[in-house]
Amino acid sequence: MLELHVWGSAFGLPSIDPECLAIITYLHSSLPAADWCLIPSNDPSISPSNFLPALYHNGAWTSGFRSIVNYLNTNSLGAELDAGLSPTEEADCVAYDAFLAVHAAPLLDLSLYVSAANWSTTTRPAFSSLLSFPLTWTVPPLIRAEAVKRVEHLGFAELDTDFDPNGGLHLSSGRDALPETFRRHIPARTKKTVSEEMTPEQHVAIRLCGLTEDCLSVLNEFLKGDEKLSFFETAKPTSLDCLAFGYLALMRDAPVPRSFLKDWIAENAPHLSKFVDGMKSSCLESPGRLPWVEPEQVSYLRLGGRILDSLILNLPSVGQEYAGEKRRRAEESITGVDGRTLMLTMGVLATGAAMGYGLRFYKSIQPFGARTQVWQPERGQSKLSQFGELGSMLGNALGGYQGSFPSPSVPSNEARFVETDTEVD
């Protein structure tokens, strides 16, 4: 039994991740439902590579769409969808795989993750519905930070600072809160400039349109004039069809407020929309239902470890070093505790202990510049002696009067009479 662990469903699709959606489509087309199960674990740490989708079979983990496809073909698991391709078509399949990774993946990152409007309205609520508390507060920011880092070379920082021009703190919006005498001297803004009317996406619309056209027009030309709406003339969809469907379905079906990808497909690439509809009906809706299986109940220890892991990754500087160490261990297939990890752990513990001791010592010392004063009780002496020589003289004159009397240890019923002078007006 093959176990496929993926990110859960969103936007009416089986998964919110393009590679997860692609491998689900591939397995549903090449294997009967009885031979594999689909588990929405929503936990990349379940696999050693810390990446979803992840396939578990005979004690071995395989992550990533292309790696899983190669594993299935190598071990003769299911029908090989690319078996009928010619050498030229196989080369085209490899080339278009790279093309999607270089052009389609950044476009999807810009739409779902980098754009603040789309992220806050659509993508983050979708991830929050897949995760349990408190992972809803720690994991989505990490996912978005990775996406922003993947596309930072494109220079679309304006999308990350998206905002509603009508919801900000503007001078005209605060006029009513000022006194009338002040409002007379503030010029009323009756009209916004063209720049203020534009959203950050509109400021970079020319560049976005260029990137979108460079990617989607190529795919649309490949499909134009094909009655079967597939990249190659085969009876079943190929791996390229599945991967392209994973990206295009999310571009078209995600209900984002800044839908520049969906709008471009609707206006300029009708073949891509027909391709998505055809793949949905032939590979997801048939044959039969997807073999969904509920994930196992996560133990409190594992949940606590994942929460701690996400908290460390969110820490400035420390999170980057921690992520780099995790990546190194995954690439080198290191399990358990090696010498480097042991030294790092000992260094962190020693640093933490030193900082804790230093903080405790700092709190115990007197403030800088203040004089140290020590108070000691004086036994058998008058309280007046605390006021110097004059107090001592008064104390001796009063016969060594003590200001306080010891309270009896045994309760007594003896009455005490106190004489007081009072004046009544």
61 by DSSP, 3-state: which? strand
Residue 249, pLDDT above cutoff 90: yes
Cis peptide before 53 (omega within 30 of 0): yes
Q: Looking at residues 150-174, what average pLDDT do you find? A: 53
Average pLDDT, the chain: 76
Predicted local confidence at residue 174, as pLDDT = 43
Could you tell me which residue, 156 or 54, shows the higher pLDDT? 54
Q: Which of 94-108, 177-191, 224-238, 247-261 has the lowest mean pLDDT?
A: 177-191
Residue 370, pLDDT above cutoff 70: no
The answer to whether the beta carbons of residues 55 and 307 sit under 8 Å apart is no
Predicted local confidence at residue 68, as pLDDT = 92
Q: Which of 176-190, 221-235, 281-295 has the lowest mean pLDDT?
A: 176-190
Residue 182, pLDDT above cutoff 60: no
407 class by beta-carbon count within 10 Å (0-12 exposed, 13-18 middle, 19+ buried): exposed
**What would the pLDDT profile of 24-36 be if each residue is shown by its tens digit?**
999 998 888 888 9
Q: List, in order, residues 6 or more apart from 239 with CB less than 8 Å away.
A: 26, 65, 66, 69, 81, 82, 93, 97
- Percent of the chain scored above 70 by pLDDT? 64
Of 232, 219, 246, nearest in space to 23 by CA: 246
The answer to whether the beta carbons of residues 33 and 289 sit under 8 Å apart is yes
Question: How far is residue 331's CA from residue 233's CA, in Å, rounded to a whole number?
Answer: 37
Q: List, in order, residues 6 or more apart from 270 with CB less than 8 Å away.
A: none
Threshold 0.85, pTM exceeds: no
2-5 β-sheet, strand order? 36-39, 2-5, 54-57, 60-63
Instruction: Determine which helix (DSSP H) or strand (DSSP E) holds 338, and give its type and residue range.
Output: none
Predicted local confidence at residue 136, as pLDDT = 82
pLDDT confidence of 176, banded at 50, 70, 90? very low
CA 124 to chain CA mean position, Å: 8
13 by DSSP, 3-state: which? strand
Q: Which of 90-99, 141-150, 155-164, 324-333 has the lowest mean pLDDT?
A: 155-164
Query: What residues pair up with 60 in beta bridges, in sequence order?
Result: 57
